[in-house]
Amino acid sequence: MSRIGKKPVVVPDGVTVSVKDHEIAVKGPKGELTQVFRPEVGVTFDADKKQILVEQLDQTRTGNAMHGLFRALIQNMVVGVTAGYEKKLEIFGTGYLMAVAGDTLQVRAGFANEIHKKIPAGLKVVCTDQQHVSISGCDKQLVGQFAAEVRAIRKAEPYLGKGLKYEGEVIRRKESKAAGKK
């Protein structure tokens, strides 16, 4: 059995949970999320103790993996609708900048054309200045996926550090060819 799957998910005040068929819906102050779970696991909500229990129905390797996975997904849903998730990106380089216009993120990252990235529904993207952008929302997977797609436009390169990176990410720098000559 999964050790992670055995732990109950504590539901804070202000969060409503409904389980029907093979679907769980979690609603809180930041939004609402739903997740369809597999037949290898069973999900029950104990309203008296305010906790969600995930049980393993299939005693196989896949059932064991799904037990821990769906408990972690449900935990992420509860945290997402209460506190939310946020990723911050920064851009470095001469003439490199980012801006939000309506529902698109505009990125100028040294290409001939400006890159326009459509912001998915459910995400809030804010540019604090032209070099920093904050991506936030209640769905952890959606926030991380969109942040990774934006970063992939031009990842920071190791020689000058130009490009997009997560805030606080350390880019290992390399010496240029000229540094070796004497």
pLDDT tens-place string over residues 119-156: 999 999 999 999 999 999 999 999 999 999 999 999 99
Cβ neighbors of 12 (< 8 A, separation 6 or more) are: 50, 78, 82
> In CATH terms, is domain 3-82 a member of 3.40.50.970?
no
- What DSSP element (H or E) covers 77? helix 61-82
What is the reported pLDDT for 4? 86
pTM: 0.89
What is the reported pLDDT for 179? 61
What is the reported pLDDT for 182? 62
Helix, strand or coil, per DSSP, at residue 130: coil
Confidence of residue 114 (pLDDT cuts 50, 70, 90): very high
85-166: CATH topology: Outer Surface Protein A; domain 3 (3.90.930)
Considering the chain, tell me which residue range(s) the CATH 3.90.930.12 domain(s) occupy. Answer: 3-82, 85-166
Side by side, the strands of the sheet bearing 16-20 are: 16-20, 23-28, 31-36
Do residues 8 and 52 make contact, with C-beta atoms less than 8 angstroms apart? yes
**Rounded-to-integer distance, Cα 66 and Cα 30, Å:** 27
Provide the CA 27 distance to its chain's centre, in angstroms.
18
Above 90 in pLDDT, residue 44?
Answer: yes
